[in-house]
Amino acid sequence: MRIGVLEDDLAQQELYKLWFGSAQHSCKCFGTAKSFLDALPAEAFDLLVIDWMLPDLSGEAALKWIRANIGWEIPVIFVTSRDSEPDIVNALRAGADDYVVKPAKYLELLARIEALGRRKKPPTVVQIGAYEINQDLRQIRLHGKEVELTQKEFELAVYLFHNHGKLLSRVHLLEKLWGLNANVDTRTVDTHVSRIRRKLGIAPENGWQIIPVYGYGYRIERVDSAGAAPT
């Protein structure tokens, strides 16, 4: 199992790596909520372990973002020193699958992780804001309504969403999605970007915008309700 960890204590990170590695799980740790949430759309984690007390955002807020933007398929365990009943209830109601109070016990934590792993079904649908991506059916829905896309339009849209915030060159997109070299006409990318922007309604009112960078490529970004990119 591949486990994503949001924990700012470096000693605790090393302990998780030791524990999970001993049980044949891999683990990638993040010390801030921002780095963790930025990485999630492009990562393929099977389970997430989250602390509550973080330097830039609470674990509860991070969890709410995960459920709203990544979906409900991935199991999440809180491991935190906060042990009050209201905290536990709030975390579970916000979408946590389990809650462990620090100091966590080695065998118990592994057993809880393995139990959630047995229940987890392979995700076929990912919710990214207003967009629902179904990899098996190769469909994208906007506000619940299916959008008709060609295969390449679907692949390009999914790749952009999974790499949101990154500046991607036209040449990179050609090579990644078409398997072509840099000598091929890059207007192919421009045409497909224009089509998916129109078909999928990629605009501030739907929470996203595609930013062209003259002479280079594109970047897709989230925008808030006022039309500004979040900081």
Bridge partner residues of 146 (DSSP) = 141
Residues of the chain with pLDDT under 50: 182, 231
**Residue range 117-162, pLDDT digits in tens:** 887 655 568 888 899 999 878 899 999 999 999 988 999 999 999 8
CA nearest 79: which of 178, 8, 184?
8
Classify 32 in phi/psi space as left (phi over 0), alpha (psi -120 to 50) or beta. Answer: beta
For residues 169 and 174, give the distance between their C-alpha atoms in angstroms, rounded to a whole number: 9
pLDDT for 225 equals: 55
CA nearest 33: which of 13, 69, 63?
63
* DSSP character string of the chain: -EEEEE---HHHHHHHHHHHHHTT-EEEEESSHHHHHHHGGG---SEEEE-S--SSS-HHHHHHHHHHHT-SSS-EEEEES---HHHHHHHHHHT-SEEEESSPPHHHHHHHHHHHHHHPPPP-EEEETTEEEETTTTEEEETTEEE---HHHHHHHHHHHHTTT--EEHHHHIIIII---TTS-THHHHHHHHHHHHHTT-SGGGTEEEEEETTTEEEEEE--TTS----
Neighbours of 209 (CB within 10 A): 18
pLDDT for 182 equals: 46
Residue ranges of domains in the chain, CATH in brackets = 2-119 (3.40.50.2300), 125-222 (1.10.10.10)
CA nearest 78: which of 43, 54, 55?
54
What angle (nearest 5°) sits at the alpha carbon of residue 48, between those of residues 47 and 53?
165
- Residue at 85: amino acid letter: E
